[in-house]
Amino acid sequence: MRFATRMLVVQVATQVAVVAVCTAVFAGLGVQQLKAEADSSALNIARSVAESPQVRDLVAEYSADPGTPDATTLRDGVLQRYAADVTERTEGLFVVITDDHGIRLAHPDPDRLGQVVSTSFADALAGREVVTWEVGTLGESARAKVPVYPPDGGAPVGEVSVGFERASVFDDLPTLIGGIAVAVLLAVAIGALVALLMRRRLERLTLGVQPEELAALVQTQTAVLESADEGVVALDDAGVVRVCTAAAERLLGVTDAVGRPLADLALTPVVTAALAGAGASTGLPVGDRVVFIDVRPVRRGSRTLGRVAVLRDRTDVAALSGRLDSVRAMGDALRVQRHENANRLHAAVGLLDADRADEARAFLADLVDRGSVDWAVPGIELVGDAMLQSFLGAKALAARERGVALRISDDTFLRGTVDDVEDVVAVLGNLIDNAVTATASAPEPREVEVAVLGDGDAVVLTVSDTGTGIADADVVFAARDRVDDPAAVHGLGIGLPLSREFARRRDGDVWIVDPGGDGHGAVVAARLPGVLRRAEGIHASRAGDAE
């Protein structure tokens, strides 16, 4: 049996039990009320008869006679007619009048006149009024016994007993029971209807899922959602957060999000719009993370329940992509280098084959002095790491295609080998790409200058350009959606936030040295600790200089 059906049965059974108890109580009270009304009516009638002057005179007269009254005389007497008349008018069972010896002076059965009554009359002769249910010669009845006093006062000289038949007392009981039964049926019907409506309301709220199924759903939801690396945020139609996993709170940087409107979570407008709209499938900087937001509507049948957003942390993937781009650039540069080197070797071999040894020797000497590839990057010899030289050469070639000249600053001084070259080229590549993009649309001269400095085990990078500068340096690293406007650079995307993330993972940083403007471009710097291995010769020479 379904839970909702069990609840309906329990509610209806409870209502029937409560109504049955109330019915029994009301029926008992009704019976007691009918009995009280019968007792009160009998007492009032008995008092009225006992106080009649005619009755008092005749009863006192019969009591004063020491003999037994004649039954024949009593049968046609005044008291008999009076009692019969009262019995008929009140629809009672009997009106009995006795003297002080209990002799019946009036009785519904004429044959019993002149005889002693079958019930006690001592209380009445003692001056007490008695209301009770007794069984007499006429059967069980509700009867009242009242003393009859003589006209001139004194001790009671008889009694008046008035009774109502049991059946007549409860003549109104069927009507009472019928009314109670109608009320009972109406109450049970209303209760059943309310229980049915509550059941339908419960099933509508739970989408037809039973409580035992809800428990299983909660267990499954907790096991699935909390064990996944992705964050999940569920919003209802009103935009209130109904589910927010720990991973989602960590990615969004919020706490206690469940039960709060999305607008109250203090998220950036871009993130709020992504969660409330179609998401951000191309990646969105959220704090120091790159998050992909996938939003899907949730429906059950034809009813729309809200939307669910799945948040995927793709910072490491984006970082790897940046590193791969850098490695690809270096690979392209190495292929160019290999091709150029092969061409020059072929030229040297041709000179030797032509017996032009002196020209071949001069050609090879020049090749040794300038390197195998002429990158045409002024100052590149100041960069001591071969990988960085190749990378900067490749970037210079790419910048040249866009009409931008890349050169190495005279302040550059790097001796040693870069160990974690991926992080260095990822950060440097992002800074150079931003600078080239800003400079390509600027008026002449279009130049980008790069400085690479060694500071202990850290590499310090500065990139300056001749572009128009950074318009808003305060929000340059803010989380924003990616845009494709070529003029929108320096933080409008994921380059600078991602570069800063790389640097801060090494306890370094990326910052704006000079936002530029007023005819000069911006200067951006980065510091990456723990990436440089110093050459032993440098330490030895510096030690000798110190001596």
Residue 459 to residues 167, 385, 506, Cα–Cα distance (Å): 114, 11, 11
Q: Are residues 299 and 325 in the same domain?
A: no
CATH code where residue 424 lies: 3.30.565.10
Q: Is the pLDDT of residue 156 over 70?
A: yes
Residue 479 domain flag: yes
Residue 481's pLDDT is 47
- Report d(CA 108, CA 75) in Å as an integer: 10
Residue 464's pLDDT is 92
Phi, psi (rounded to 5 degrees) for 501 = -60, -45
- Report d(CA 326, CA 16) in Å as an integer: 80
Q: Are 98 and 77 in contact (CB under 8 A)?
A: no
Residue 135 domain flag: yes
Q: Is the pLDDT of residue 76 over 50?
A: yes
Lowest mean pLDDT among 145-149, 326-330, 479-483: 479-483
Q: Is the pLDDT of residue 538 over 50?
A: no
Q: Are 482 and 283 in contact (CB under 8 A)?
A: yes
Q: Are residues 125 and 241 in the same domain?
A: no
In this structure, which amino acid lies at residue 47?
R
Look up the pTM and report it. Answer: 0.44
User: What is the average pLDDT across 416-435?
Assistant: 83
* Residue 538 vs residue 475, higher pLDDT: 475
Q: Are residues 331 and 233 in the same domain?
A: no
- Choosing from 259, 294, 313, the residue where a domain stops is 313
Lowest mean pLDDT among 246-255, 352-361, 537-546: 537-546
Which residues make beta-bridge pairs with 309? 233, 295
Residue 280's pLDDT is 65
Pairing between strand 405-408 and 447-455? Answer: parallel
Residue 516's pLDDT is 82
- Choosing from 263, 291, 313, the residue where a domain stops is 313
Element housing 312 (H / E): strand 303-313
Which residues make beta-bridge pairs with 140? 135
Residue 205 domain flag: no
Residue 151 domain flag: yes
Name, of 295-299, 341-345, 443-447, the range with top average pLDDT: 443-447
- Report d(CA 472, CA 479) in Å as an integer: 14
SS (H, E, C) 240-265: EEEEECHHHHHHHCCCCCCCCEHHHC
Q: What is the pLDDT of residues 359-403, one digit of tens each?
A: 878 877 776 665 555 556 788 888 888 778 878 888 887 788 888
Residue 488's pLDDT is 39
Residue 330's pLDDT is 63
Q: Is the pLDDT of residue 487 over 60?
A: no
Residue 3's pLDDT is 65
Q: Are residues 121 and 147 in the same domain?
A: yes
Phi, psi (rounded to 5 degrees) for 400 = -60, -35
Residue 2 pLDDT grade (very low, low, confident, very high; cuts 50, 70, 90): low
Q: Is the pLDDT of residue 442 over 60?
A: yes
The token pair that represents 113 in the structure block: 């006149």
Element housing 297 (H / E): strand 289-300
Residue 138 domain flag: yes
Residue 542's pLDDT is 39
Q: Are residues 132 and 233 in the same domain?
A: no
Phi, psi (rounded to 5 degrees) for 510 = -125, 130
User: What is the average pLDDT across 407-426?
Assistant: 84
Q: Is the pLDDT of residue 55 over 60?
A: yes
Q: Is the pLDDT of residue 492 over 50?
A: no
CATH code where residue 82 lies: 3.30.450.20
User: What is the average pLDDT across 431-447?
Assistant: 87
Residue 197 domain flag: no
The token pair that represents 498 in the structure block: 């991602």
Lowest mean pLDDT among 87-91, 96-100, 185-189, 205-209: 205-209
- At a CB cut-off of 8 Å and minimum separation 6, what does 530 contact? 420, 457, 458, 506, 507
Q: What is the pLDDT of residues 286-332, one digit of tens each?
A: 666 667 778 888 776 677 777 888 887 766 666 666 666 666 766 66
- At a CB cut-off of 8 Å and minimum separation 6, what does 168 contact? 91, 92, 93
The token pair that represents 422 in the structure block: 């991926």
Q: State the residue for tokens 């992509």.
A: 321
Rounded (10°) CA dihedral 22, 23, 28, 32: 100
Q: Are residues 132 and 237 in the same domain?
A: no
Residue 167's pLDDT is 56
Lowest mean pLDDT among 4-8, 59-63, 86-90, 137-141: 137-141
Q: Which of 28, 32, 16 is nearest to 184 (CA)?
A: 16
Q: Are residues 292 and 324 in the same domain?
A: no
User: What is the average pLDDT across 451-472?
Assistant: 88
Q: Are residues 265 and 367 in the same domain?
A: no
- Choosing from 278, 313, 348, the residue where a domain stops is 313
Q: Are residues 390 and 456 in the same domain?
A: yes
Whether the link from the prior residue into 108 is cis, omega within 30° of 0, is no
Q: Is the pLDDT of residue 460 over 90?
A: yes
Q: Are 183 and 173 in contact (CB under 8 A)?
A: no
In this structure, which amino acid lies at residue 536?
E
Name, of 122-126, 213-217, 490-494, the range with top average pLDDT: 122-126
Q: Are residues 362 and 488 in the same domain?
A: yes
Q: What is the pLDDT of residues 256-287, one digit of tens each?
A: 778 788 877 877 777 777 777 777 665 666 66
**Domains in the chain, number:** 3
Q: Is the pLDDT of residue 520 over 50?
A: yes
Residue 185 domain flag: no
Domain around 489: 319-537
Residue 400's pLDDT is 84
Element housing 270 (H / E): helix 269-276
In this structure, which amino acid lies at residue 365?
A
Phi-psi region of 516 (alpha: psi -120 to 50; beta: other; left: phi over 0): left
Residue 301's pLDDT is 67
Mean pLDDT (the chain, rounded): 77
Q: Are residues 307 and 245 in the same domain?
A: yes
Q: Are residues 296 and 343 in the same domain?
A: no
Q: What is the pLDDT of residues 171-191, one digit of tens each?
A: 666 777 777 778 878 887 887
Residue 477 domain flag: yes
